Structure 1
């Protein structure tokens, strides 16, 4: 229709045709600047694995003696054939998502990966197809979005290396030239990995806690690839991610909670708000180990059981110290609507004013209001602040070689000394008259390697083996680290502990050899 000056310009804009404008290859640079944090990017890849039906995954760091080399994420999902790999690696490629899918926009694999790595490789196999792979690099994107085909022999070799996870089908996502890895100075790899894995374990344990409760097996491992000649790799660390439930209290902070409130929200219908009040001064990991308490009060939004926002009041009110015990569980509607908007990185939800208006008017089945809930949470905080609390002495935390489940309990029970490097436990060659020794400069407890099988039922054991022995030694030896002058009385204590422990391990070995339990 030709334009007429009398057209209702305030309601519509007339057009005369259209032109297809494909993106310039420079658009690919935007993929490297999406603001993904490291943990958020890894979580986005785990979403893809869950959408592929995986129930077992490993986040795998590879390193050698001097540097951290690469990161891989392995799953036992349905896998992809050549056509599926091409679709997965196409920038901007959208696909049909099921209502229960975690993926939404079709950009997560590329944007999350290329935000951290200059090279993204995906190798996969299905039950009906051989292993195949594709590689996308920053240079390839600039060269007209070129995607490289991985040598099938390498693809099969990579899948075979992870046959403990990929039996018949599965996928390996590999990051190379990871920018943060390349900034780690020589000699600092252990320190970097310790902190990076701790943050990653917390993030994944929190955001996937419902899946982990339902049986998802999610591990984080570190392997030393040695001189890279294709020989046997050595496992340096291996932990299983445990669920960090932000509502996993044993006793609520107020009788009658949790309570379910119904908010009538224009554009979204009825939205259920499950309101929780934590016990004041709780030491449980789900309360204290998921971030600053002031930031973790408020709404916890879930989409298809995946946590997508962990705290924040979304304009309802400002964070307050008196509300740190208040956390509200909200499952987003399966059908999209204009009230809730989830960002691409899946770490925050934007709501319209209709949501906050509905929350302010929300009530439960007994007629209690949501505003009364907030008052109850404040009262629980004030009552808890009045109670006397025993102050426990801060300790140097346990680190590498210490089972993560025990490590978490230590963290719940004892405050940490600020700025102290964790105490590492490792098996090492020691003289026959020493059960353990201390490397105080490296903050490490060395255990005599010749006794390792005695504490692992005759087997070599993993990096976090012998948990009872290591825990008892930690409790005995923690105060031997971080000291200035080394006193003779402390050395004498270490010496007689060694003598007594050597006697006990020899008795244990004799009983095992005789078949006595």
Structure 2
């Protein structure tokens, strides 16, 4: 084996290799979640100086037809719109801009829609004509062919949103053939809208909370029936500050630590400890206790990572109250100490930052490691107080929503070393709503009643969380005893009778609605 190694690779020229048109297909397969994709479009509105953004779901009866994001920003002329619709289009970003890569509009949109239309108007005169472009996946794959929107339609779309929110200028992004819109009726559209709009409002409220807290910026989510002009829903997104607790969980916090990163200098860490057992949306908006602990990175006031320790340490339940806000310095992002994902839903921190955390201190010389210890102790102390006042229980297991399991574990001390209680649906005698299998620690629910209980929603391992939670609270003590006494057997029979009657009533309601 030779020991020689040439670090510089010699070349003999270059060759122009443009991307294949299938690159657009790859661009649309980056795993954009629906909420993250919409947030990326709103980022563009913020960069354009918008004061009002409307996210508009359009339906025709029980069928969703389009989704539009409308803003009153500065708009784009023909040349600017061409750049915006070019993959990786080069433009000068404002130093405080949220955009970075020149791909967000295209990849976010085509991840979820078969076609994206952009119509925009700049403030010159009220009579100035708007510009419009349209990408369809079919045309994109056929040699990057971007369609020019007919001027009459572009003006018609601008006029439709005149004064709501567009007055002099603004931009409209329209999605058609949205992939996850329901394709059947039967109430699916209403259920989809309720579920999707709730998640979207929480996502936007969290990741854009600093903008929404301002007096001059608003996001509205609305639903309109295009055949009747009826507006079914119209509400403003509320800011969800992940550090907006009513009272601190530890008297010594919040406090600021400084991590000195050699290549970029000091990075400030604003360390917080939430109060135990908080039920606010600000606390619960991010996954489970494992998901929501750790670093909350901001770039230009936009939250780009909500939770996670970035290889500093492993997450654990005892750190569920620990949150650290970090405003990323531009020079740190430029130097790639912090690398943002294209979707702006995570940050890859270099080992240089992780090493700097080990020696980070506050103004009094307190170490960042001490903060982590204090957060751990705050959680454990709250758990200890609970353990002295409430009897320990067998924990819930498979079939229960993770957030339900977490809530039970927060509120009740757990019996150590016990096999968890599972819950599942199976076919059993229709005279019963549930059965108890002590040996396998399982609550068996009658599959006959599942569709009625779910109300037409799609079933899954962790479905019907409210029902399963109530049954756990009723039945966990049964598994904690070796056998059932006469009083307990009577209670079980009572619960069976009432639940069967209720389930049959639900089935009758479904039949009547059909």
Aligned ranges 1:108-257 → 2 under 5 Å: 108-128=104-124, 129-163=128-162, 164-183=164-183, 186-215=186-215, 216-226=217-227, 233-257=229-253
Q: For 1:146-197, what per-residue CA distance to the aligned partner results, in whole angstroms no more than 9, with x for missing partners?
A: 1111111111111111112000000000000011115455531101111011
Question: TM-score, normalising length from structure 1?
Answer: 0.72
Aligned ranges 1:313-352 → 2 under 5 Å: 313-335=309-331, 336-352=334-350
Distance 1:379 1:441, change over 3 A: closer
Q: For 1:40-89, what per-residue CA distance to the aligned partner results, in whole angstroms no more than 9, with x for missing partners?
A: 00011011111101121011101111311111000000001111111111
Distance 1:141 1:210, change over 3 A: same
- Give distance in 1, aligned partners of 2:184 and 2:291: 30
Shift of residue 387, structure 1, vs aligned partner: 3.4
Shift of residue 96, structure 1, vs aligned partner: 1.9
The partner residue of 1:60 within 56, 59, 68 is 56
- Give distance in 1, aligned partners of 2:325 and 2:185: 42
- Give distance in 1, aligned partners of 2:206 and 2:32: 17
- Residue 360 in structure 1 maps to residue 358 in structure 2: yes
Q: For 1:196-215, what per-residue CA distance to the aligned partner results, in whole angstroms no more than 9, with x for missing partners?
A: 11110110000000101113
- Contact 2:269–2:326 under 8 Å retained in 1: yes
Shift of residue 291, structure 1, vs aligned partner: 2.2
- Give distance in 1, aligned partners of 2:283 and 2:182: 34
- Give distance in 2, aligned partners of 1:201 and 1:31: 26
The partner residue of 1:273 within 260, 269, 274 is 269
Distance 1:483 1:165, change over 3 A: farther
- Give distance in 1, aligned partners of 2:453 and 2:257: 55
In the other structure, the counterpart of 1:32 is: 28
- Give distance in 1, aligned partners of 2:296 and 2:184: 34
- Contact 2:182–2:189 under 8 Å retained in 1: no
Stretches of structure 1 that go unaligned for 5 or more consecutive residues are 1-7, 227-231, 392-410, 420-439, 444-481, 487-517
In the other structure, the counterpart of 2:373 is: 375
- Give distance in 1, aligned partners of 2:315 and 2:165: 43
- Contact 2:212–2:218 under 8 Å retained in 1: yes
Q: For 1:331-375, what per-residue CA distance to the aligned partner results, in whole angstroms no more than 9, with x for missing partners?
A: 111221121100100000001111111111100001111000011
In the other structure, the counterpart of 2:6 is: 10
- Give distance in 2, aligned partners of 1:55 and 1:360: 42
Aligned ranges 1:281-320 → 2 under 5 Å: 281-320=277-316
**Corresponding residue SS for 1:261:** strand
Shift of residue 31, structure 1, vs aligned partner: 2.0
Shift of residue 27, structure 1, vs aligned partner: 1.5
**Corresponding residue SS for 2:28:** helix
Could you tell which deviates more after superposition, 13-22 or 35-44? Answer: 13-22
Q: For 1:300-344, what per-residue CA distance to the aligned partner results, in whole angstroms no more than 9, with x for missing partners?
A: 000000000000000011111100000000011122112110010
- Residue 47 in structure 1 maps to residue 43 in structure 2: yes
Distance 1:270 1:56, change over 3 A: same
- Contact 1:32–1:111 under 8 Å retained in 2: yes
- Give distance in 1, aligned partners of 2:184 and 2:385: 46
- Give distance in 1, aligned partners of 2:356 and 2:28: 39
- Residue 83 in structure 1 maps to residue 72 in structure 2: no
- Contact 1:67–1:186 under 8 Å retained in 2: no
Distance 1:10 1:183, change over 3 A: farther
**Corresponding residue SS for 1:58:** strand
- Give distance in 2, aligned partners of 1:115 and 1:260: 39
- Give distance in 2, aligned partners of 1:104 and 1:315: 25
Number of aligned positions between the proteins: 392
- Contact 1:120–1:173 under 8 Å retained in 2: yes
- Give distance in 2, aligned partners of 1:10 and 1:257: 53
- Contact 2:68–2:172 under 8 Å retained in 1: yes
The partner residue of 2:258 within 259, 262, 268 is 262
- Give distance in 1, aligned partners of 2:19 and 2:267: 40
Question: TM-score, normalising length from structure 2?
Answer: 0.73
- Give distance in 1, aligned partners of 2:205 and 2:286: 9
**Corresponding residue SS for 2:176:** strand
- Contact 1:267–1:338 under 8 Å retained in 2: no
- What's the Cα RMSD here? 2.4
- Give distance in 2, aligned partners of 1:108 and 1:356: 29
- Contact 2:88–2:103 under 8 Å retained in 1: yes
- Give distance in 2, aligned partners of 1:326 and 1:172: 40
**Corresponding residue SS for 1:243:** coil
- Give distance in 2, aligned partners of 1:223 and 1:386: 51
Shift of residue 441, structure 1, vs aligned partner: 10
